[in-house]
Structure 1
């Protein structure tokens, strides 16, 4: 317990000591609405006050109620009684008992900052309403976080979501799953580039983009990667769990096989790739 110049927050424990009238002294936790029950005075709103202003408020209420003639009140705060839990993609997950202002960015810094696998969404909930979750967009590069920074109350639970991935397969050099958090927006051409480009046998004009919707359903869209790479068509944005499939061109495959056979001289074989 200690005297604080910072505002009192919901979830913190306060001790009200009336030195010349101990029957009015109490220790209580600040409710989620910012209130504290005080003996003989009822419910008193403490949230936003500091130790000095809360002490002055109780003194005035005791005098106005003619309960104590000259009360001497001291309000102290134990912010460590209810910490803030930080989980997920941070370097040091745990329960932290911050002093002073409880800003989200400060709590993340106390947890060692974001891990390399951090995504762009932070989930915030509280002890009193664990099922009510607030999703906060967060830029791991710290370019656009100020507008989303916010005060956290004691008892909050912060979960840094992992970076999502998108998938690319078919006729690309390196099919697989790739993270979509490296930049603010990931496009189809960027995902193809991450896969080291399309093979010469690819039918880029009939590339399939499969969007995964929040309910788990999927929408299939045909895109022309050739036009996109030549800036002749819009480059669609890729979201988490999307899939790009670059199909095989039968004609190109036949030509590659034919030229590969013709170019085979002795022990030398010509291997033809595109996008390298």
Structure 2
């Protein structure tokens, strides 16, 4: 009888161990074992601004994600404000378990803590900003704040910004980052977190050269929408010695530039449709004395090469 009882106890304990090993702890990791925190090495410590996940085995109501405050404390269900900064995830798990037990909420709590976002990672800002680099932030900040940390945008920055999240997901965000009133910027609603990458691409530039009043390169504002007449207006219009109906539009393709003749006067009078320009397009307006000499692409390219191309900052 005693032998059968011993075997029965052994079988029950073995079954309990297997059942515990197959239990799910939290929705993020169905195979995570109680007492383990695989997301961070033992040497990694929790710091202010970190986002941590707390999983209590078999009590899903207490599973939560909390942000550690600047004072090093995290506000947790039942046990309230708890100092966790400077602790490893394992030490924090032991602290939470002890608090739950000592306050008689749970008899034998099994707790896991893992770091979801580390403020020590900072936010990387690259591209067309004054000072690209990694900037430390505690918790979420607005996109506008982060770009301000990087010194603001350059004169040729695009208004469409991409944010790559820590999990690898990329968001393309159209934000009015050059608006004089930051409160009206769409970017105020965009949150950036530690570990994110902010990429500010270069805006497209079109060139208006030749016999115009202000030849040069012009940044394509409003997310890249600009027509030939709009670009010509930014260049101050044609000079009185120009031959606008002999203008040339040069557009880059895989083999170089393709040239087509455009009649600016006919477009201005509504007899022909205005042309939507693309980045790196070149509009060349010849002088009436040289229009016959600039028929071929090579002559136009020589004239463009000798021109001073510069970006006009608005």
Q: TM-score, normalised by structure 1?
A: 0.55
Aligned twin of 2:172: 135
The 8 Å contact of residues 35 and 45 in structure 1, kept in 2 or not, is answered as: no
Quick one: distance in 1 between partners of 2:223 and 2:199?
Answer: 21
Describe how 1:97-116 pairs up with structure 2 within 5 A: 97-116=136-155
Aligned twin of 1:52: 75
1:93 and 2:132 equivalent? Answer: yes
Quick one: distance in 1 between partners of 2:176 and 2:252?
Answer: 22
Q: Secondary structure at the match of 1:167?
A: strand
Query: Aligned pair count?
Result: 220
Distance 1:107 1:195, change over 3 A: same
Distance 1:140 1:236, change over 3 A: farther
Quick one: distance in 1 between partners of 2:242 and 2:271?
Answer: 19
Quick one: distance in 2 between partners of 1:76 and 1:105?
Answer: 26
Describe how 1:165-180 pairs up with structure 2 within 5 A: 165-180=205-220
Describe how 1:89-238 pairs up with structure 2 within 5 A: 89-129=128-168, 133-142=170-179, 145-146=185-186, 149-181=189-221, 185-200=225-240, 202-210=242-250, 223-230=262-269, 234-238=273-277
Aligned twin of 1:13: none
User: How big is each residue's C-alpha offset from its partner over 1:68-125, in whole Å with a ceiling of 9 and x where there is no partner?
Assistant: 49x9x99999953221112233334332222343221221233333233422232322
Quick one: distance in 1 between partners of 2:189 and 2:258?
Answer: 34
Quick one: distance in 1 between partners of 2:130 and 2:159?
Answer: 16
Q: Secondary structure at the match of 2:152?
A: coil
Quick one: distance in 1 between partners of 2:206 and 2:52?
Answer: 47
What RMSD over aligned residues (CA atoms) do the two structures have, in Å?
5.0
**Which segment is superposed worse, 191-200 or 36-45?**
36-45
Quick one: distance in 2 between partners of 1:151 and 1:113?
Answer: 17
Q: Judging by fraction of residues, say which structure has more helix.
A: 2
Kindly name which structure, 1 or 2, has the bigger radius of gyration based on alpha carbons.
2
Quick one: distance in 2 between partners of 1:40 and 1:222?
Answer: 74
